[in-house]
Structure formats: C-alpha cells, structure tokens
C-alpha cells in the first residue's frame, strides 16, 4: 500500500468535462451501492478502477502524470490555507499513480475491507473508511504545511480500516501477502498484520526514507482508524441479546463452515449484519427431521414440515 506524494505538474488539455465525469462516477457508484444494499467495499474497488481508466483515457497515454485530471482530483496541503479545492480531500482517495499502485492498494483492501464491512455493517464501515482517509491526508499536511505536493491514493483510508479492524476484532484471521523472501500468503490475526504494517511505516517515517510515498498519511490513517473504533465502541456498545442464536441451533451445524457461519452470527455487533450471517447459515443447513430448507420467520422453522427451532 502506498500514497504517492508527487511534485510533478500534470499536463494536458481542458480537464473540466473529464473531472465532472470522474466525480459523477464516484458519487454515482457510491449511491448505487447504497441503493442496491451491496457491499460498499466492493463498490469502492470498482470505482477506483473506473477512475483509473478514466484518467488514462483523459491522458491519452499510459502516463498518469499526463492526465489533466490530476490537478483537479489530487490533494495539495496548501489547499488548507488557500481554501481552494477542499473537495480533493475526498476525490484524492480514488486517484492512483500507476497500475502497480492501484493493484496493490485494491488487493490489500479486498483482503481486509470486505470482511471488516461484513463485521460492522456498511454505515460504520463507510464512516471509518472515509474519515480515516481524510485523517491520513490531514496528518501528512500537518507535517508538510502549505506544500504544493500532490497527494493521491486510498492507502490512508485502507490503513484506517486496518487500525479499526485490529482494535475491534484483534483475533479475526486475515490473509496477508508476505514478500520476503518470496511472495507468500499467510493467514494471521488482524492485530498481528496491523502491527507489522504499522512497524514498517514507522521505520520508513523515522528513517526519513525518500521514496515518493506519503508514509505519514499511512500512520495518520491507522491512528484515525483506531480512534474511530474506540469512539464507535462507546456510542454503539455490543447489542447481542436474546436475538443471538441459542445452543439449539448449534446442533444443526454439521460442518466447520456451518459452525463458522453460526459463530459469525453470535459475534456480530449490528442486527443487520447478524441477520445476514443467519441467512447465510440457514442456506447451508437443513431440517434434521425432513431434510427441508430452513427459513427465518418469527423464529427458525422448516419450510417443508413446519418444525421450529430455537
């Protein structure tokens, strides 16, 4: 993951139509995801790639620095003092420097963003993702005040999700790519993964490594995510109550996958998330009496024989 900080100046023709189209893609995609009640994390990935290819089309080349959309969508710290283009605090989260930048960011985001959203629900996921992204950008700006460097990338927001995920569900397992000595994919607790990435970013920052990456934005996003998780924990405590599954349902789970679905139901904090996991669980099990399908209708019952389960 990386948030490039560029001192280049984009070139190209008039950018207003392209910029408006890019903003329409971003807002339209987010609105569509909310309307269809699909996972926002998945739509964010789609939007990022759509904006990336739109910028390539506007540049009429494979050089992103030539895209006229860069000065319109990228964020510069000096905007905070000039009061200009403040909207780029938001749009810069959907802009990437090159194909490797977007591929790495979206791959990591797919590994942690989707399971985190399934854990906390879309509203809380969206709040953490976007606020942490802005928090990372502001952190970078604080140490680069009034700079004209262009900041792009979703890394700050992704690190925010990392931080919140580790703070709320430290023992959850996620798959992470480990590139040393060869690329390996290892399942590990999300807390361990977050600490590894946080440690690397701290070393880069303290060592003042000049690699064109805004490591301060990563650290700022991570800290923002942890802080937002703490705030959400206070204002929205665990709500698992009588609606959580009883031990009777455990007897229906025959496989490890089914037991894992039921465990997700028990651990879910949000009623809508719990209901979604319960629906997934019921799709996998059957009535022990007649083998019929089970549905959730004023409790759990068999659609064929009418038997009820608590």
CA dist 29 → 18, 91, 156 (Å): 16, 13, 21
Q: What is the pLDDT of residue 272?
A: 66
Compute the Cα dihedral for 185, 188, 191, 196 and give only its sign. negative
User: Which H/E stretch holds residue 308?
Assistant: strand 308-309
Cα–Cα distance, 186 to 167 (Å, whole number): 20
Tens digits of residue pLDDT in 258-308: 888 888 887 776 666 777 778 788 888 888 777 778 777 667 777 776 777
Spatial distance between the Cα atoms of 163 and 138, rounded to a whole number of angstroms: 17
**Can you give the residue ranges of every domain in the chain?**
5-235, 247-309
pLDDT at 10: 42
Element at 4 (helix H, strand E): none
Full DSSP string of 206-239: HTT--SSB-HHHHHHHHHHHHHHHHHHHHHS---
Residue 158: phi and psi, rounded to 5, are -65, -40
Alpha helix ranges (H) inside the chain: 16-36, 40-59, 70-73, 79-82, 88-91, 99-120, 122-143, 155-168, 190-206, 215-235, 247-250, 256-267, 271-284
Topology of domain 5-235, CATH: Rhomboid-like fold (1.20.1540)
Could you read off the pLDDT tens digit of each residue along the chain, which spans 310 residues? 656 654 444 444 345 788 899 999 999 999 999 998 889 999 999 999 999 999 888 877 776 666 778 888 999 999 999 988 999 999 999 999 888 889 999 999 999 999 999 888 889 999 999 999 999 999 999 998 988 888 999 999 999 999 999 999 898 888 888 766 777 888 899 999 889 888 877 776 766 655 567 788 999 999 999 999 999 877 754 433 334 444 467 778 888 888 888 888 877 766 667 777 787 888 888 887 777 787 776 677 777 767 777 6
Q: Which of 37, 51, 45 is nearest to 110 (CA)?
A: 45
Task: Supply the Cα-derived Rg of the chain in whole angstroms.
Answer: 22
> How far from chain centre, in Å, is Cα 183?
23
Determine the Cα–Cα distance for residues 264 and 281; give it in Å rounded to an integer: 9
CA distance linking residue 175 with residue 108, whole number of Å = 9
pLDDT, one tens digit per residue, over 125-142 is 999 999 999 999 999 999
CA separation for the pair 88, 152 (Å, rounded): 9
Cα–Cα–Cα angle for 272, 274, 278, rounded to 5 degrees: 115
Q: How high is the pLDDT of residue 13?
A: 39
């Amino acid at each position: 993951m990386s948030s490039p900080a560029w001192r280049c100046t984009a070139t190209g023709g008039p950018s207003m139509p392209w910029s408006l189209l890019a903003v329409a893609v971003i807002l339209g995609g987010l609105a569509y995801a909310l309307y269809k009640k699909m996972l926002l994390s998945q739509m964010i990935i789609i939007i990022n790639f759509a904006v990336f290819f739109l910028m390539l089309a506007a540049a009429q080349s494979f050089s992103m620095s030539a895209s006229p959309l860069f000065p319109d969508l990228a964020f510069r710290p000096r905007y905070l003092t000039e009061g200009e283009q403040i909207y780029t605090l938001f749009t810069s989260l959907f802009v990437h420097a090159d194909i490797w930048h977007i591929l790495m960011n979206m791959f990591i985001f797919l590994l942690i963003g989707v399971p985190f959203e399934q854990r906390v629900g879309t509203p809380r996921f969206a709040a953490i993702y976007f606020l942490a992204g802005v928090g990372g950008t502001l952190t970078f700006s604080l140490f680069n005040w009034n700079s004209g460097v262009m900041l792009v990338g979703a890394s700050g927001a992704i690190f925010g999700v990392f931080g919140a995920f580790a703070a709320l569900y430290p023992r959850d397992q996620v798959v992470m790519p480990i590139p040393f000595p060869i690329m390996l994919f290892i399942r590990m607790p999300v807390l361990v993964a977050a600490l590894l990435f946080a440690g690397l970013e701290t070393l880069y920052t303290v060592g003042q490594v000049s690699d064109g990456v805004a490591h301060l934005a990563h650290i700022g996003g991570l800290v923002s995510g942890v802080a937002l998780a703490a705030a959400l924990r206070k204002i929205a405590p665990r709500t698992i109550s009588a609606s959580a599954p009883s031990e009777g349902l455990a007897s229906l789970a025959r496989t490890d996958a089914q037991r894992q679905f039921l465990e997700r139901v028990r651990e879910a904090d949000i009623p809508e998330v719990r209901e979604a996991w319960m629906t997934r669980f019921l799709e996998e099990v059957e009535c022990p009496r007649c083998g019929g399908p089970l549905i959730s209708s004023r409790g759990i019952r068999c659609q064929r024989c009418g038997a009820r389960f608590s």
